[in-house]
Amino acid sequence: MLLNFFDGLRKAGVPVSLQELLTLFSALDEGLAFASVDDFYLLARTCLVKDEKYYDRFDRAFALYFQELESLDQALEFLLPEEWLREEFRKHLSDEEKAQIETLGGLEKLIETFKERLAEQKAKHKGGNKWIGTGGTSPFGNAGYHPEGIRVGGKSENRRAVKVWEQREYRNLDDSVEIGTRNIKVALRRLRQFARAGAHEELDLDDTIRATAKNAGLLDLKMVPERHNAVKLLVFFDVGGSMDSHVKLSEELFSAVRTEFKHLEYYYFHNMLYEYVWQDNKLRHQERINTWDLLHKYGSDYKVIIVGDASMSPFEITAPGGSVDFFNEEPGAVWMKRLTDTYEKVVWLNPVKQNYWEYTHSIRLVSQLVQGRMYPLTLAGLEEAVRYLAR
């Protein structure tokens, strides 16, 4: 009764409720998708998914269900690393070789073996004929050839099992992915909403007239929130090395909403905040600005966003002289403390994937320094950060 499918969707993180499942049933009852798995796919997606950001998760769960992989748990937890499936080389098999490959028995057996091997296998694998990987002749993996294979992501080379849900076209719309050019617009809207927060109230003339008339002429004042932007923002970007591409993106992001904010100031730093920051990256050694001046110049009503990967040697945070650029009198931690003391709302946006954070010592340190207000540089992360800042 599709209950496994329903469970699978929920486990994959698609927010479906019983109501939607019942809708699907009544749609099936009306004969909207009869005896066609493609139609069923479209119908199920229409009924069950309410936001394009879940399309990708839906596709994955659907594919899994229809390969009769019932233990979604295992397979989803075993998320395949990207490079693992990159089609770097391809084994060109002759027809004879193809003919030689025997099938390994029925589908049941394949799935069982698949699970076993998933459990056994720990490393990336390419070629060969047993392990799951790319370009091999094992029945499991990607871009290989086996008459009865199970494919794990990637493109079907032999065009045996291309289905819409396997193309994963909606991958970019998932909100847990990093902010890119595709979803930058949505990110902008989040920021824009933030910019409008915190305004005062003013008299709503139209509504007042209407309410007064309704009141048979007795004055009834109505107020509305004033439409102007009160949010002041101070942004620090970590520049240099791995951060450059992220910084470019975030700069674009913030400059696009520049006009929306009452005040928006940028400063750059390298790895960690010390006594100097700079505003022009080309003149970083000539035109440095003392961080003390900043703390005094911008009042405590500013909200602070720091964009950085926070990946460095722990000494850069904890020890004087730890900076890689110059000799710093005081450790970065002290400067961070001063920042969080001056400003009530400080968030750190980190482009590093969130599941790596706990393995990097410096990220944990920085996260403590900003009182746990570190968010991933994804749409969801940005939204959360903005929600905190606006509170």
Partner 1 sequence: MKFTGTDRYVATDDLRMAVDAAVTLKRPLLIKGEPGTGKTMLAEEVAAALGLPLIAWHIKSTTKAQQGLYEYDAVSRLRDSQLGSDKVHDIGNYIRKGKLWEAFEAGGRCVLLIDEVDKADIEFPNDLLLELDRMEFHVYETGETVRATERPIVIITSNNEKELPDAFLRRCFFHFIKFPDRETMEDIVRVHFPDLKKNLVNEALEVFFDLREIPGLKKKPSTSELIDWLKLLLSDDLPDDILKNRDPTKAVPPLYGALLKNEQDVHLLEKLAFMARRESR
Minimum distance, C-beta of residue 50 to partner 1, in the bound complex (Å): 4
Which of residues 48 and 366 has its CB atom nearest to partner 1 in the complex?
A: 48
Q: Which residue has the tokens 């109230």?
A: 201
Minimum distance, C-beta of residue 308 to partner 1, in the bound complex (Å): 24
- The answer to whether 197 contacts partner 1 (rule: CB under 8 A) is no
Minimum distance, C-beta of residue 26 to partner 1, in the bound complex (Å): 6
Minimum distance, C-beta of residue 215 to partner 1, in the bound complex (Å): 8
Which of residues 212 and 313 has its CB atom nearest to partner 1 in the complex?
A: 212
Q: Single out the residue of 10, 23, 67, 130 in contact with partner 1 (rule: CB under 8 A).
A: 23
Q: According to DSSP H, which parts of the chain are helical?
A: 3-11, 18-29, 37-48, 55-66, 72-77, 95-100, 107-120, 164-167, 184-195, 205-214, 244-256, 291-297, 315-318, 332-342, 361-369, 379-390
E strand map for 229-310 = 232-238, 263-269, 276-278, 288-290, 303-307
Interior CA angle at 26 toward 20 and 30, to 5°?
140
Q: Single out the residue of 169, 201, 226, 293 in contact with partner 1 (rule: CB under 8 A).
A: 169
- The answer to whether 52 contacts partner 1 (rule: CB under 8 A) is yes
Which of residues 113 and 176 has its CB atom nearest to partner 1 in the complex?
A: 176
How many angstroms separate the Cα of 227 from the Cα of each of 193, 207, 261?
12, 16, 12
- The answer to whether 26 contacts partner 1 (rule: CB under 8 A) is yes
Minimum distance, C-beta of residue 253 to partner 1, in the bound complex (Å): 13
Which of residues 19 and 94 has its CB atom nearest to partner 1 in the complex?
A: 19
Minimum distance, C-beta of residue 349 to partner 1, in the bound complex (Å): 20
Q: Which stretch binds partner 1 (CB under 8 A): 35-43, 73-81, 90-98, 117-125?
A: 35-43
How many angstroms separate the Cα of 240 from the Cα of each of 99, 243, 308?
55, 6, 10
Map residues 175-194 to x or -, x wherever contact with partner 1 holds by CB under 8 A.
------x----x--x---x-
Round to the nearest angstrom and report the end-to-end CA distance of the chain. 45
Residue 277, classed as helix, strand or coil, is: strand
Sequence-distant contacts of 17-21: CB under 8 A, at least 24 apart = 20/47, 20/48, 20/50, 21/48
Residue 115, classed as helix, strand or coil, is: helix
- The answer to whether 65 contacts partner 1 (rule: CB under 8 A) is no
* Site size with partner 1, rule: CB under 8 A: 35
Minimum distance, C-beta of residue 167 to partner 1, in the bound complex (Å): 11
Gap between the Cα atoms of 235 and 263, Å rounded: 11
Residue 271, classed as helix, strand or coil, is: coil
- The answer to whether 38 contacts partner 1 (rule: CB under 8 A) is yes
Q: Single out the residue of 9, 12, 14, 47 in contact with partner 1 (rule: CB under 8 A).
A: 47
- The answer to whether 155 contacts partner 1 (rule: CB under 8 A) is no
Q: Which stretch binds partner 1 (CB under 8 A): 165-173, 279-287, 318-326, 358-366?
A: 165-173
Q: Which stretch binds partner 1 (CB under 8 A): 138-146, 214-222, 257-265, 311-319?
A: 214-222
- The answer to whether 20 contacts partner 1 (rule: CB under 8 A) is yes
Q: Single out the residue of 45, 125, 126, 151 in contact with partner 1 (rule: CB under 8 A).
A: 45
Residue 142 in contact with residue 91, Cβ under 8 Å? no
Gap between the Cα atoms of 49 and 7, Å rounded: 14
- The answer to whether 49 contacts partner 1 (rule: CB under 8 A) is yes
Interior CA angle at 315 toward 312 and 318, to 5°?
115
How many angstroms separate the Cα of 96 from the Cα of each of 70, 99, 288?
35, 5, 70
Binding residues for partner 1, rule: CB under 8 A, are 15, 17, 19-20, 23, 26-27, 30, 32-33, 38-39, 42-43, 45-47, 49-52, 55, 169-170, 173, 181, 186, 189, 193, 209-210, 213-214, 216-217
